[in-house]
Structure 1
Amino acid sequence: MGEALVSVVNSDAPRLLFSVVPNGGHAVSVQSTAKANVESQHVAKRVSLPVPRARVYKPGDRGGYVWELQRRLRFLGFYTGKINGIYTWRTYRAVRLFQYSFGLRVTGLTDAKTRAKLWKATRRWRPGGVRTVQARRVYRKTARQLSWNDIKLMAHAVHAEARGEPYIGKVAVAAVILNRLKSDRFPNTTAGIIFQPMAFEAVADGQIWMQPDRDSFKAVRDALNGWDPTNGALFYFNPARAKSKWIWSRPQIKRIGKHIFTR
């Protein structure tokens, strides 16, 4: 019986098995299916590698993307703070407002869906661009103390009371609520002012819970930034519908849209 020649190979190298031949003959190598199996395993491993998730930006993050995020939010009027590349709580609140206005899940975190929607909404934004109309960036003391729920409730009131009015009329309604918040004659909370008995018709007829539109939120932001088209008014009424002698007796300041604003 002749001797057989068998190769010993490194387990990490491509495996070549030699044929068994009689003693004195020549060993002829043939590639086995083992190499193919090894390659298929490597391919399977490459395919099964997890795909990295898109980064979700949150308060505390810093960098160039946050800078651009703030710029784009300011372009739409949602962000009014400093452009500093830091995901501050003001940035967080601006993202929440953007998400709410565009029908996204309201988290305050900038995920892939939020980025895509924001980029689509700011197609005309360019680095260094300046909005043609900018609200004053001066916040009142009371405005700083407002919570997200306060702002949302104000937007509900603005939409219910002034939908169909020109935009300045919506800002005027928001300004009246803020003027009452500063006055000692009214409750010292936003909810207390809006739900004060007989204060707003929209509360009495249930329209306060209608879904506010984007302009209503924007009007609240402009009022918070210091725009008061009413020059300090505390009341307003529709002359075509108002029957109260008392409201007609109030000193009138001006008319905006269908409403007369008074002290």
Structure 2
Amino acid sequence: MINIPTLRTKRLTVQMKELSIMDAIALASIPPDMNEEATSFFLRATVGEVSGVVDVSQWTVQERTLATCHYMASTFDDGPNFALMNGECHYSDYLMGDQDYLGDQIDIGEIEGDKWVVRQLTGELSCAIERLRGEIAGFSNHAHWQFGLMAAQLVPNGDAGEGLTAGALDEFLLARMKVIASYPESVFTLLLARYQAALSELEHLLRLSFDGHGILVMPNKQEEGAAMRPARFPVSTCVTSLAKELGGKSEDAGT
């Protein structure tokens, strides 16, 4: 059994445990394009004792990714500063260890008669965005994530949709995505600019971005002449080839 050191942040003290073979097989069966759902499953399977925010669905995406990387750093053969992209980058190129959680939300003022705040992105919200892909006709994958993230994090007039079941949350976010998509371009542009400015004030642990495939992690700095690229830390890399084989996944066959 692998011993995983305690993870400590401003909001969390977490003791993680090694994946069981049963959970590893189940994790291997989750489609690769469901990374947020896979991360939730992985955390539920590996997180033991928690002090602070107990519900992993209410952890921020940064906290979820940090816990995933903490597990990787404890279990990968190349150690705590494990390599990415065939050794071009390392975990330390992305971690912002001195920048922890600063607050729940940022006030961005009034736009078109509504008072807006930008809140942190939680696992619950990121999973909902992932589930809603394809629900709005004509949206590219990139547009889906842009509008999904805005619908999840932008809160008008205190209407945050808290305490909803997964299905109700999906409906809530989809309706808000459609509302934002209906704004005149000038209003949308102003809202987007204020949203993006607020994100920099909410940054902690890791710098997030996104593309058409979902959430990305950006380098913590750009060294002169360095070719630092956005990264993902998929939980599928924590699953052994044995578990994938037992789960009916053949890496050689690409299934």
TM over 0.5: no
Comparing both structures, which one devotes a greater share of its residues to strand? 2
Structure (1 or 2) with the larger CA radius of gyration = 1
Larger relative contact order (Cα-Cα within 8 Å, sequence gap ≥ 6) = 2
